[in-house]
Amino acid sequence: KVEKKKELEWALIPPGEVSQVDGIVLEKNICNSWDKIWNFEAKPDDLLIASYPKAGTTWTQEIVDLIQNNGDIEKSKRAPIHLRQPFLEWVRTTNSGIDQANAMPSPRTLKTHLPVQLLPPSFWEKNCKIIYVARNVKDNMVSYYYFQKMNKGLPDPGSWDEYFETFLSGKVVWGSWFDHVKGWWKKKESHPILYLFYEEMMKDPKREIRKVMEFLGKNLKEEVLDKIVYNTSFDVMKRNPMTNYINDVKMNHRLSPFMRKGVTGDWKNHFTEAQNKQLNENYEKNMADTSLSFCMEL
């Protein structure tokens, strides 16, 4: 029965179809529900986790959930991550992130991949706390390529060489990486946003987890922080069915697991020398107007 329900839900989704909202490519069903998303009513005690896809969202989500639950992993295993923290713009015929959020008691934690200009205005009006996580463009691109291969809800990425060009053109779902990371960085000047970096989380997870804890106004003991570091390590999260999306019907983990490699520098196994040069030039041009910088040579 469950399989039937899943199939039915899936059958009603146009697989891989996209459209646009204000020039940003998004899944078609998101575009079709855009008014409902844009008019979402945030509450002042909502916490939002925002990111470009494949930047370390799930990792950050699990860290936040564990901090909120004082490091108690059993509490964090109460449900898959997307049910604990609704995905704002996620739309399905039988359910949507917004329906989930509206049915949830406060304080709520929500996730979004929307670029800053498409975030529903109520988040700014209610002055909600926001955590943004960013990842260097090269690894982000590689991770997104594999995700588009394994996730039937997204367009087929084609070959690596084709995807490289599509990604750089910004015509990927949720828009240009450059505009996304820069837009949220700029917003930090006028709004309470904790801006995290995947590479810093890899380098010193405890330090970054402590930053999140302080941002959330919590004070946990060292041994609790150590437990959170352990339970949010790649190997533990890869085995945890509440964080590895193993039961998501859209995802074919045999093509590429959701928890794929979890490393920095995998781009070196994919980029040709010419692609690296092209990306570096593109990067210099696109990042000339921002103070944001990434650790690129990994």
Ligand X SMILES: Nc1ncnc2c1ncn2[C@@H]1O[C@H](COP(=O)(O)OS(=O)(=O)O)[C@@H](OP(=O)(O)O)[C@H]1O
Please list the active-site residues: 113
Minimum CB separation of residue 261 from ligand X in Å reads: 4
Residue carrying structure tokens 């604990």: 84
Among 5-13, 118-126, 261-269, 283-291, which window interacts with ligand X (CB under 6 A)?
Answer: 261-269
Residue 242 binds ligand X, judged by CB under 6 A: no
Among 92-100, 184-192, 233-241, 273-281, which window interacts with ligand X (CB under 6 A)?
Answer: 233-241
- Contact residue for ligand X among 55, 67, 110, 193 (CB under 6 A): 55
Nearer to ligand X, 104 or 298 (CB): 298
Minimum CB separation of residue 90 from ligand X in Å reads: 11
Minimum CB separation of residue 289 from ligand X in Å reads: 25
Residue 109 binds ligand X, judged by CB under 6 A: no
* Nearest residue to 22 (alpha-carbon basis) of 183, 252, 232, 205: 183
Element (H, E) at 76: helix 73-76
Nearer to ligand X, 148 or 219 (CB): 148
Burial 96-123 (b: 16+ CB within 10 A, else e): bbbebbeebeeebbbbbbbbbebbbebb
Residue 31 binds ligand X, judged by CB under 6 A: no
Residue count (the chain): 298
- Contact residue for ligand X among 143, 176, 231, 286 (CB under 6 A): 143
212: Cβ contacts below 8 Å, ≥ 6 apart: 60, 63, 64, 67, 131, 194, 196
Measured in degrees and rounded to the nearest 5, phi and psi for residue 123 equal: -65, -35
Residue 234 binds ligand X, judged by CB under 6 A: yes
Classify residue 244 by its DSSP letter: S
Minimum CB separation of residue 231 from ligand X in Å reads: 9
